[in-house]
Amino acid sequence: MNFIGKALAGVTAVASVMVPVQAGSYEEHTQLARAVASTGVKVLINPPICQQKDAFGWYDARNSMLVVCQENAKGTKMVVWTQEDLDTLRHEAHHVVQDCMDNALDGELESVYVSPERLVRAYLSNEQVVSILEMYEDESKDRQIHELEAFSVATMNNPLEQVDDINKYCF
């Protein structure tokens, strides 16, 4: 059975980016944004292109940038971060780690986890897996696996572990 089948069967801007939320989360997510920036990837919050796209964010390896389009933004100014905004930062930061797995930030993503299937089973419901696979149904199986892994890592909500992963795999 392929990874997707197993997963479904097994599951039911800058280095000084500040993330204004509750105390512990504030510092941890700020450290994550700084760790991403330390790789040379620009962290952009609410750049003008966000107003033209229907997305919470993305990682663009070609232009070396991670973008977060805040849920409550009304333009390009940063606003108080929502849980969705923080989730987006964690998700996109994981794509940076996936990109580091071949020792180059070149857009060639590789799974970080030896068994992404177990990770997905542990953190995503069957409904979430189905929804994610529907969003990425026109993408390759590898891309679908990378997205499932990134959604799972974001759901883990452990930004300091992600900082450790950036330090381990990107340097």
In this prediction, residue 148 carries a pLDDT of: 98
Mean predicted confidence (pLDDT) in 60-79: 97
The pLDDT assigned to 27 comes to 87
Mean of pLDDT values over 129-140: 98
Q: For residue 121, what pLDDT is reported?
A: 96
Give percent of the chain with pLDDT exceeding 90: 84
For the cut 70, the answer to whether the pLDDT of residue 17 exceeds it is no
How far apart CA 146 and CA 138 sit, in angstroms, is 14
User: Does 119 score more than 70 pLDDT?
Assistant: yes
At residue 1, does pLDDT exceed 70?
A: no
Better-predicted residue by pLDDT, 47 or 25: 47
pTM above 0.75, yes or no: yes
Least Cα distance to 41 among 69, 17, 65 occurs for 65
Tokens 């993330």 locate to: 19
Q: Which residues contact 44 (CB under 8 A, 6 or more apart)?
A: 13, 65, 66, 67, 68
**Contact yes or no for 7/34 (Cβ under 8 A):** no
CA distance readout (Å), 8 to 3, 11, 126: 9, 5, 6
